[in-house]
Structure 1
Amino acid sequence: MFARLFALPCYALVCLLTLLPLSSAQAVGLPGLLGNQTKAQPQAEEPLGQSLDEVIKSLENDQQRAKLLADLKKLRDATKKAQPTPEEGVLGLIGGTLSSLEKQFSGADSPVNRWTDEFDLAQEELAALMLPASQWLPIIFAFALILMVWSLLAAALIWLSHRVRLRFGLTDELPQHPKTWDLLRFALRKLGPWLIALLITVYMTYSLPSSLGKDLAMVLAYALVIGTCFSAICVVAFSVLDGPHRHRALYILRRQAFRPLWWIGSFAAFGEALSDPRMVASLGQHLAHTAATFANVMAALSTGVFILRFRRPIAHLIRNQPLSRRLTRRALSDTIEIIGTFWYLPALVLVGISLFATFVSAGDTSTALRQSLLCTVLLVLCMVINGLVRRHALKPQRGHKRHALYSERLKSFFYTLAHLAVWLAFIELGLRVWGMSLIRFTEGDGHEVSVKLFSLGGTLIFAWLIWILSDTAVHHALTRSRKGLANARAQTMMPLIRNVLFVAIFIIATIVALANMGMNVTPLLAGAGVIGLAIGFGAQSLVADLITGLFIIIEDSLAIDDYVDVGGHLGTVEGLTIRTVRLRDIDGIVHTIPFSEIKSIKNYSREFGYAIFRVAIPYNMEIDDAIKLMRDVGQKMRTDPLQRRNIWSPLEIQGVESFESGSAILRARFKTAPIKQWEVSRAFNLSLKRHLDEAGLDLATPRMSIQVITPGSTPEKQ
């Protein structure tokens, strides 16, 4: 028997070692399948040496070997016939999917049949609850009494709260810009009377005997209170999103969305309460199950109606972002714009999927709608918490002016981490609703992956913090000046230093993150060094530009908004990079000059300037009168409201500089503010011309002497 079992030419020894621990009954099973008619005799497991002898004998016998091969071929053919050939390709996949759907939606286990059976069983349980009228009266009386007591208590509390509001002059609705206390007071006003009345009613009903009417009344009251709580939380969540251009949308949601949200929350809470074991015991499993499913379906349909009715106000809330965010974060604003426009489509798809899953699962309320509604409630709570965090972050905080910039940016950093923590908590709770968990994943199979992801996230957050601190330190150091002259220097050096810092921090963070992810960064560093060396040799002009520009910026030879003459170009500095300087001349032409081409820099914008005048004195005017006239004009210039801020010194008469065309050239100058010397010169020349016109004097004109010589006469000079 063992000879036929293990007689395979190539795998005899391996099969023998594998099947040795099997019992004799298991060992003789294969020959029977192969058609061997030899009876298996129960015997003990044979030793290894005896089994090897049997295998050797079987292999030496040609007839036994041929019969064993024939039996194995028959077994192979039977195995091929038993296993259907799988269809390959896209058509095979579609066919398999349609086949599985057909099996799921047809037959005795189809959703339609299961719903039919569920309704039949529910009708039987409802018929069993049909008691005589004498037994129904106590149930109806208990139901009506509890609801009446609860309603009267709630009405009394509502009247009392209304009197309190009138006494203290409080409004019924939320103000346009509600504070945290206003939101809390609104929620308490909507929920407080009904919740307190329910607690008092529950305490008072302890004396009543347990009955179906009492249970149904308490379930209905509980569902209505939960619906009120859900609607109040949603309205508070909408109000937290208050901001510019959102007032009309908030007005609509605050005054029209409360009742639809109340219906959604009440239906969902009623379906949840009917799944309670005590209600299942009172009504019956199938009747309670059917009623709970109907309530959840009504909650889903109410949610769909709410989405379609209020899709535009909610889209308005999502799309309208603050102006600062729209200007600085254009990509994020565009993404939010798209989400706000089409937000209702995925919401309707979620509702449809929940209804379809409920139909397919024949009303399994432990999944589908219940989980979707719980996720919706968690999302609303997450929005409320994030809105409160953002509201607290926007509050002005008093602090030392010296550290105001640090505190502002660090506050933004930590509030961003708080928003991230809130969303992570929402994702974790949402996954737990669906039977999954990130924490369990990190503790189980995904431990290694989670460790790497956490290390990556921690590295990025730490790099972000380092960038905030370093960038703030640079900004604080460059803008600190008593005279206020550091603005141009800060505008010049800050972009360069910030770019260098950002690139350095980004590279270091990337290397550290890759190392924490388990990647060997040594080849990367070596390759970066080789590439840097190659760039250094191959781009010598670029290196020269970088080094020259670095020293020019460090020495503060020029800055943004300076009026300079560099590289043969005269103009205002508009921008600096690590390689070039950008000038705009008086004709509006922009010149981009590499730093390596700058041999000298003439800066007209530093400290002060001189407005120099060279005035030709008329030949018929005394020099002392000309000096006095220029002094009078200079004194008048210093008292001019438009020019006195630009003139920093009295007019300095430097004397007669030269003689040109018979006229004396008188030189004078003003000490002026930077770049104002040309403006002062034009104003002085205009004022001097007006004084000369008033005195009846003309400006000096070139003089020419002509001698006329005639024969026999003396020369006449004209």
Structure 2
Amino acid sequence: MFARLFVLPSTLFICLLMLLPMAPAQAVGLPSLLNGSPKAQPEATEPLGQSLDEVIKSLENDQQRAKLLADLKKLRNATKKAQTPEEDGVLGLIGGTLASLEKQFSGADSPLTRWSEELDLAKDELSALMLPASEWLPMLFAFALILMLWSLLAAALIWLGHRVRTRFGLTEELPQHPKTWDMLRFALRKLGPWLIALLITVYMSYALPSSLGKYLAMVLAYALVVGTCFSAICVIAFSVLDGPHRHRALYILRHQAFRPLWLIGSFAAFGEALNDPRMVTSLGIHLAHTTATIANVLAAIFTGLFILRFRRPIAHLIRNQPLSRRLTRRALSDTIEILGTFWYLPALVLVAISLFATFVSAGDTSTALRQSLICTVLLVLCMVINGLVRRHALKPQRGVKRHALYSDRLKSFFYTLAHLSVWLAFIELGLRVWGMSLIRFTEGEGHEVSVKLFSLGGTLIFAWLIWILSDTAVHHALTRSRKGQANARAQTMMPLIRNVLFVAIFIIGMIVALANMGMNVTPLLAGAGVIGLAIGFGAQSLVADLITGLFIIIEDSLAIDDYVDVGGHLGTVEGLTIRTVRLRDIDGIVHTIPFSEIKSIKNYSREFGYAIFRVAVPYNMEIDDAIKLMREVGQKMRTDPIQRRNIWSPLEIQGVESFESGSAILRARFKTAPIKQWEVSRAFNLSLKRHLDEAGLDLATPRMSIQVVTAGGGLEKE
């Protein structure tokens, strides 16, 4: 009902608009009606009534109503066609872009025109400052007096500092491996005299009257002090990156980069100081603006020259990573290698973009140039703070703690969070320089998104902490022994347990994170259960391998570096997974055997072994003499410096085992260290053979009995 009441007046109003062009007299009365003028109401009553009658007649007639509907549709289509912009395609887009650029760089609003106007206005303001010589002398006197006072105070403080360093034997430059105190002392030596002299000069300058010379001197001193501070901070940042094979690059940067950095910081600070309201009032808006822009442009140009000059030492600092990181984190090392090689290209592009933005904006010092320089300073400070945090993290701890493994890994975890916090602070400050803020985003439109992201990050950090604690507990439990060293069982079980533990924590953490972000994880859990059942029924052999391997590992039937006989293959265990065991035999062939195919395990590496000897006694040697000789050889073996660690018992003579080829076979054995029985056997046989050779006896010579029948029927035996 409401829709009908709304459609009917709308239709009537449209029809009135359609009829207005056809009746000029009627159109005259409509504005008066809409304006609500009391005097115009009688004049508009008759035309309005006639219009309504015509509309009613048109709606009562089917043909006229259909025609009116068709006209309204045509009007609607024409309106849409007029409102829809024509799409010219890619060429049209390119042409429109070029046209907009041409419009921006030509005409009265082009950068060249604005630059010429700005320079003309600055020239006029400079001409206005050309006062008579009588008025310039006090300004020049104030300028020279302040700079002279500041320089003399700084020189006196530098001389005093030099005397103190000479008295206590302190070095002026940073040592090869500077500590935190060394870097702080270096910054104070470079910055302290000039900063203290500036503060004293500012206090004493209040006695002088306000003038342009006084303000210019203070601005110049301020810019030079800021440049010194900037260069000192950069040199400290380079020194924080000290490490193996970086000494030459650090030497170059410490001794050659200070003055270029000082120029960059001084010009940037000078351009910033010229925006002070007092300087703007004294010099003029356009003159101060132009001078500040020139100073910022010079800072950007010197930055580009610094990048080109020192690109190789800085690339060396970036690329040269510790050996442990290069071996364990190959992807990260390759990425850092690429960044170190081409780091100067994006830096030069940033400088070029800043200069281009400054030109386009006609020297607007609030554009990308100032913001880029401030972001550079923030980046240097971030690097310094991160370097100091890293140095503190690498500092060796005093004493041996009971739970040193826990403390080391937790310390690494918290230091990583500290590095992350420093970088987040840098990102927030950098965004504020460009007029944005993460904090304002989280408090405004992005509140819900930020809450979900914070919950995700908190869940991942908490899962990481749980992983560290559980992995450390497993490592501590499996490697605990009398000697405090990892045993073969720990090397066997630790990778398996760590993998299972990591997968479990990762899955639980992802489910909790998705739940915190507002997702319904119930279908996901149900689907995972169904998939698990399908895998269990469809991969029975895999399940058999997993279960058998789990029991083998729990029962400690074999471990890495054990010498075993498994499935008809004899070799050393090189690796274990949750499904297979990997052996390498004596020929170097690797055998991968599923756990489900293992029926029995012969392990030669557990607790001890026996070196068994079977010695054939010569026929012309008494048994007792042979036993005595074997005991002598055994005793000599036990005193041998090489073999005595492998032999754990005296030689055990087990007696005559059998007879072969007319010789008695004596059996004896040594109790040996695991896997050393074959080495002991070979050494014993060699020593016994040498003793028999010295005695003129032939060991294990086959005997043959020959009977010859003579012609007289007698026997001769040989």
TM-score bucket of the superposed structures, by smaller chain: over 0.9
Contact 1:139 1:211 in 2 (8 A): yes
Q: Closer, same or farther in 2 for the Cα pair 1:58/1:492, shift >3 Å?
A: farther
Work out the CA distance in 2 between the residues paired with 1:483 and 1:169. 47
**1:503 alignment counterpart:** 503
Work out the CA distance in 1 between the residues paired with 2:282 and 2:546. 85
**2:527 alignment counterpart:** 527
**1:6 alignment counterpart:** none
Work out the CA distance in 2 between the residues paired with 1:470 and 1:85. 63
The answer as to 2:324 corresponding to 1:334 is no
Work out the CA distance in 2 between the residues paired with 1:562 and 1:241. 45
The answer as to 2:6 corresponding to 1:13 is yes
Write the deviation string for residues 508-546 of structure 1: whole angstroms up to 9, x where unpaired.
112122222222222221221111111111111111111
Q: How far apart are 1:615 and its partner, in Å?
A: 1.0
- 3-state SS of the aligned residue for 2:482? coil
Equivalent residues in 2 for 1:308-323, closer than 5 Å: 308-323=308-323
Work out the CA distance in 1 between the residues paired with 2:294 and 2:430. 24
- 3-state SS of the aligned residue for 2:467? helix
* Sequence identity percentage: 86
The answer as to 2:577 corresponding to 1:610 is no
**Partner AA of 1:60 in structure 2:** I
**2:56 alignment counterpart:** 60
Contact 1:378 1:426 in 2 (8 A): yes
Equivalent residues in 2 for 1:141-540, closer than 5 Å: 141-398=141-398, 400-482=400-482, 487-540=487-540
Contact 1:240 1:387 in 2 (8 A): yes
Write the deviation string for residues 119-159 of structure 1: whole angstroms up to 9, x where unpaired.
11111111111111111111111111111111111111111
Work out the CA distance in 1 between the residues paired with 2:96 and 2:499. 57
Write the deviation string for residues 343-396 of structure 1: whole angstroms up to 9, x where unpaired.
111111111111111111111112221111111110000000001001111100
Contact 1:12 1:55 in 2 (8 A): no
- 3-state SS of the aligned residue for 2:620? coil
Q: Closer, same or farther in 2 for the Cα pair 1:460/1:472, shift >3 Å?
A: same
Q: How far apart are 1:53 and its partner, in Å?
A: 10
Work out the CA distance in 2 between the residues paired with 1:17 and 1:397. 84
Contact 2:21 2:27 in 1 (8 A): no
Work out the CA distance in 2 between the residues paired with 1:629 and 1:80. 117
Q: How far apart are 1:707 and its partner, in Å?
A: 3.4
Work out the CA distance in 2 between the residues paired with 1:63 and 1:559. 97
Cα RMSD (Å)? 2.8
The answer as to 2:565 corresponding to 1:572 is no
Work out the CA distance in 1 between the residues paired with 2:655 and 2:460. 70
**1:658 alignment counterpart:** 658
**1:87 alignment counterpart:** 87
Work out the CA distance in 1 between the residues paired with 2:431 and 2:117. 32
Q: How far apart are 1:37 and its partner, in Å?
A: 2.8
Equivalent residues in 2 for 1:552-567, closer than 5 Å: 552-567=552-567
The answer as to 2:679 corresponding to 1:679 is yes
**Greater CA drift, 160-169 or 431-440:** 160-169
Write the deviation string for residues 271-290 of structure 1: whole angstroms up to 9, x where unpaired.
11111111111111111111
Work out the CA distance in 2 between the residues paired with 1:273 and 1:192. 21
Contact 2:223 2:269 in 1 (8 A): yes
Q: How far apart are 1:303 and its partner, in Å?
A: 0.7
Q: How far apart are 1:68 and its partner, in Å?
A: 8.2
Q: Closer, same or farther in 2 for the Cα pair 1:608/1:484, shift >3 Å?
A: farther
**1:37 alignment counterpart:** 27
**Greater CA drift, 120-129 or 186-195:** 120-129
Gaps of 5+ in 1: 1-9, 21-26, 47-51
Work out the CA distance in 2 between the residues paired with 1:117 and 1:475. 74
Q: How far apart are 1:73 and its partner, in Å?
A: 9.0
**Greater CA drift, 63-72 or 534-543:** 63-72
Write the deviation string for residues 243-293 of structure 1: whole angstroms up to 9, x where unpaired.
111111111111111111111111111111111111111111111111111
Work out the CA distance in 2 between the residues paired with 1:703 and 1:198. 112
- 3-state SS of the aligned residue for 1:602? strand
**Greater CA drift, 434-443 or 120-129:** 120-129
**Partner AA of 1:204 in structure 2:** M
Q: Closer, same or farther in 2 for the Cα pair 1:80/1:534, shift >3 Å?
A: closer
- 3-state SS of the aligned residue for 1:514? helix
Contact 1:154 1:194 in 2 (8 A): yes
Write the deviation string for residues 70-125 of structure 1: whole angstroms up to 9, x where unpaired.
99799879968976843332122212211221221122111111111111111111
- 3-state SS of the aligned residue for 2:177? coil
**1:112 alignment counterpart:** 112
Q: Closer, same or farther in 2 for the Cα pair 1:74/1:695, shift >3 Å?
A: closer
**1:23 alignment counterpart:** none
Q: How far apart are 1:57 and its partner, in Å?
A: 4.7
Q: Closer, same or farther in 2 for the Cα pair 1:31/1:258, shift >3 Å?
A: farther
Work out the CA distance in 1 between the residues paired with 2:685 and 2:284. 107
Work out the CA distance in 2 between the residues paired with 1:306 and 1:53. 85
Work out the CA distance in 2 between the residues paired with 1:506 and 1:137. 77
Contact 1:220 1:270 in 2 (8 A): yes
Q: How far apart are 1:60 and its partner, in Å?
A: 1.7
Work out the CA distance in 1 between the residues paired with 2:11 and 2:407. 72
Work out the CA distance in 2 between the residues paired with 1:112 and 1:378. 33
- 3-state SS of the aligned residue for 1:207? coil
Work out the CA distance in 2 between the residues paired with 1:81 and 1:537. 63
Q: Closer, same or farther in 2 for the Cα pair 1:28/1:346, shift >3 Å?
A: farther
Q: How far apart are 1:405 and its partner, in Å?
A: 1.1
Q: How far apart are 1:14 and its partner, in Å?
A: 4.0
- Tell me the TM-score normalized by structure 1: 0.92
Work out the CA distance in 2 between the residues paired with 1:656 and 1:610. 18
Work out the CA distance in 2 between the residues paired with 1:369 and 1:19. 61
Contact 1:374 1:433 in 2 (8 A): yes
**1:621 alignment counterpart:** 621
Gaps of 5+ in 2: 42-47
**1:583 alignment counterpart:** 583
Q: Closer, same or farther in 2 for the Cα pair 1:87/1:95, shift >3 Å?
A: farther
- 3-state SS of the aligned residue for 1:353? helix
Work out the CA distance in 2 between the residues paired with 1:31 and 1:365. 60
**Partner AA of 1:38 in structure 2:** V
Q: Closer, same or farther in 2 for the Cα pair 1:89/1:82, shift >3 Å?
A: closer
Work out the CA distance in 2 between the residues paired with 1:485 and 1:112. 75
Contact 2:16 2:51 in 1 (8 A): no
Q: Closer, same or farther in 2 for the Cα pair 1:589/1:352, shift >3 Å?
A: same
Work out the CA distance in 1 between the residues paired with 2:121 and 2:483. 90
Q: How far apart are 1:62 and its partner, in Å?
A: 2.8
Q: Closer, same or farther in 2 for the Cα pair 1:663/1:73, shift >3 Å?
A: closer
**2:550 alignment counterpart:** 550
**Partner AA of 2:226 in structure 1:** I
**2:44 alignment counterpart:** none
